[in-house]
Structure 1
Amino acid sequence: MRRAVIVATVVAAAVAGWVAWPSIARQAGMVGGIGAAPARAGGADAGTGGRQWFEAVPEHDAQLQRVPLTPVDSSGSAWLSMADAREHGDARTPPIQRDEARTPPTAAELADPQAYQQYQQGQQLRVLGAFAGAAAAELPRLQADMERGRAAGVPAEQIAKVEEKIRRIEQQRRRILREHPELAGAASH
């Protein structure tokens, strides 16, 4: 009961303040028509030199600009459009690239736990080899980008971040090749 009375009092005070705000603000000279200057010459906050938040952007200086929107087919309802996008995808999204090198496990591999474990290990080796190969191809480009950044005057802390990324990619690549020497031919530097 007590909680309900407190909540009702707070809500009533908020509603009363919301309803009374325009007349109180008008009396204080804080709200005027569009383009009206504030009417406080020696008001209560004249000594503070501060401005109210709603005076920070004068309405008469605002320039409204129209921004063109992409055309929308509004002939159908929105839920039909969403259902169609869910089922058939959105034409604006890029196509998904499927991993053509991946071969699904055979029925025999699925039936035998040891054979399936070997299949999984082969897939893991393929992923590690792909990382090592991509790292070997990408590291020279990253280093060239870093050097261009240095020449262009990029801040030292950003250059240090890129150097750290290059160092960690190279470290990971070396670890993979050390643990799996059979991948060295696929990921030659």
Structure 2
Amino acid sequence: MRRHVILAAVVAAMAAGWVAWPSIARQAGLAGDAGAAPARAGSAAGNEGGRQWFEAVPERDAQLQRVPLTPVDSSSSAWLSMADAREHGDARTPPLQRDEARTPPTAAELADPKAYQQYQQGQQMRVLGAFADAAAAELPRLYADVERGRAAGVPEEQIAKAEEKIRRIEQQRRLILRDHPELERAAPH
């Protein structure tokens, strides 16, 4: 019984807020003053109490544009299409790349906490080494992109952002190689 009373009070409070919205919006300066949206056709200028809550939102002078949609096969119903996508995937999605280098832990590693910790450390080292390798391979491309951007007249603040990202990638690579020198011989410079 008590839950019903609480629920009724919450519903009543929500209804009161819904009804009081236009007067609250006027008091907050959202509607009614000189900067507010002009009165809609069909509503009386002096009828401020009868305004709807959505009239308090100012209209924008945005132009609507048509955007082309992807073609949809409407020969079958939507639920059949969804069922087919669930079972066979969506042809528009890129394929997943499996991590072939990762080896799952053995039963012995799963049973022994110390062995599993060594397995996790090995996986972490593999990830760090992959980052160092990828950073070394990608940094020349990033520098070339920055130079192309300068030549194309990209604003200096955008170039500064790209250079900061490059600096942080280099810094992270240096930290990884400093903390784990065994990765340095595997990672190209």
Establish whether TM, by shorter chain, passes 0.5: yes
Larger radius of gyration: 1
Other-structure match for 1:70: 71
* Matched residue SS, 1:121: helix
Matched, 1:99 2:102: no
* 1:13-38, Cα deviation, whole Å (9 max, x unpaired): 9xxxxxxx76558xxxxxxxxxxxxx
* Matched residue SS, 2:93: coil
Write the letter of the residue equivalent to 2:151: A
Write the letter of the residue equivalent to 1:146: V
Structure 2 CA distance, aligned partners of 1:98 and 1:92?
18
Structure 1 CA distance, aligned partners of 2:92 and 2:145?
31
Shift of 1:134: 0.5
> For the structure 1 residues 172 and 10, does the alpha-carbon distance in structure 2 shift closer, same or farther, using more than 3 Å as the test?
closer
Matches within 5 A, 1:6-17: 7=16, 10=19
* 1:155-176, Cα deviation, whole Å (9 max, x unpaired): 1101110110010000000000
* 1:51-90, Cα deviation, whole Å (9 max, x unpaired): x969x699xxx9x979575141432x32232122123211
TM-score, normalised via structure 1 length: 0.65
Structure 1 CA distance, aligned partners of 2:139 and 2:71?
40
- The percent of aligned pairs where both chains have the same amino acid is 72
* RMSD of aligned residue pairs (Cα, Å): 3.5
Other-structure match for 2:158: 158
**Is there any run of 5+ residues in structure 2 with no aligned partner, and where?**
1-7, 23-39, 45-57
Structure 1 CA distance, aligned partners of 2:150 and 2:167?
17
Structure 2 CA distance, aligned partners of 1:66 and 1:110?
53
Write the letter of the residue equivalent to 2:73: V
Structure 2 CA distance, aligned partners of 1:179 and 1:133?
15
Shift of 1:135: 0.3
* Matched residue SS, 1:124: helix
Other-structure match for 2:141: 141
> For the structure 1 residues 109 and 66, does the alpha-carbon distance in structure 2 shift closer, same or farther, using more than 3 Å as the test?
closer
**Is there any run of 5+ residues in structure 1 with no aligned partner, and where?**
14-20, 26-51
Runs (4+) of structure 1 exceeding 2 A deviation are 21-25, 64-69
* 1:137-158, Cα deviation, whole Å (9 max, x unpaired): 1111101111111122111101
Write the letter of the residue equivalent to 1:128: L
- The count of residues paired between Structure 1 and Structure 2 equals 149
